[in-house]
Amino acid sequence: MPEQTDTEQKNTDAPSLSDLSSRDKPWDKHRSNADKVSAYYVGSEFQGYSDRAYFCSELLDFRLTPDQDEGVYKLKLAAARFCRVRHCPVCQWRRSLMWKAKAYKILPRIIKKYPTHRWLFLTLTLRNCKITELRETLKHMHESFKRMTKLKAFPAIGWIKSTEVTRGKDGSAHPHFHCLLMVAPGYFGKNYIRQDEWVEMWRQSLRIDYNPVLDVQAIKKGQSPASLVPELLKYCTKESDLVADREWFLELTRQMHKTRAIATGGVLKEYLKELEQEPSDLVGEDSQAEVDEGHLYFDWKRKEKKYRLVE
């Protein structure tokens, strides 16, 4: 075993990002999984994605910002180079954070405009499909949802819909929609729709011969719909599924190429349509507005699977 050089020893002794900032611990996990994704792409038709993911966010530039409430300094990401590969775990995570930030900012304006309206959280599924049939299945689901919104009984006057795909134990794909629906104040009176009626509407729209699994939850009166944002705007595919099987992952990439992750409709579209687009910034648009007390740089140590301070 070769002796450790002074430089390598110094790097190992340097503080890690996760040691200095507990809220930044996810960086190590996401970046480690990005290396796995990069390795999966090697030798495939997605070699370009492999190269991009390999070099994604290797160096992080954090700004020191004072937290007046706690009387300490906190780290705020100031700059990083992201690959923007759709299934890169780092970029998927950052994309979700940016979508959530936008939603948290916009939802109060919607609530102010429609203060008495109520909200539902709807999850729509159907039977698992082969991973090779995912694109056609998603197309069918999107068309079916559009049909459902045109039904006379459909109660929502506005909605946001996100797509999630999970991996079945048998290697199948389980696509489903998470939907946040805004309904009129009188929904919980004579216009109330029972669970079995929702199932029938979705079954009719899907044009299938079985009852699909569906879940609908009402957001309590006075509770902000923002409480559902983390579930609504999370990853498209969870990381453990992304790195579970190379062939499944490569086929997922093929099947989901240029498909839309988020869609909005009704009166909410004018407020939330920007969520349908790839975020232009994965760092944080407000990052330059904070007090700058200096910078710390962290380099990705691939063998250790840690970000360490550059000294």
Share of the chain above pLDDT 70, in %: 92
Whether the pLDDT of residue 83 is over 70: the answer is yes
Rounded to an integer, the average pLDDT of 122-140 is: 98
Q: Which residues of 15-32 are buried (b: 16+ CB within 10 A; e: fewer)?
A: ebbbeebeebeebbebbb
* Residues ≥6 apart with Cβ < 8 Å to 238: 166
pLDDT digits (tens, 9 = 90+) for 221-276: 888 888 888 888 888 999 999 999 999 999 999 999 999 899 999 999 998 888 88
Whether the pLDDT of residue 220 is over 60: the answer is yes
* Residues ≥6 apart with Cβ < 8 Å to 110: 182, 268, 271
CB 42 within 8 A of CB 49: no
What's the CA gap between 136 and 259, in Å, rounded? Answer: 11
Q: What is the pLDDT of residue 74?
A: 86
Q: What is the pLDDT of residue 87?
A: 96
Q: What is the pLDDT of residue 182?
A: 96
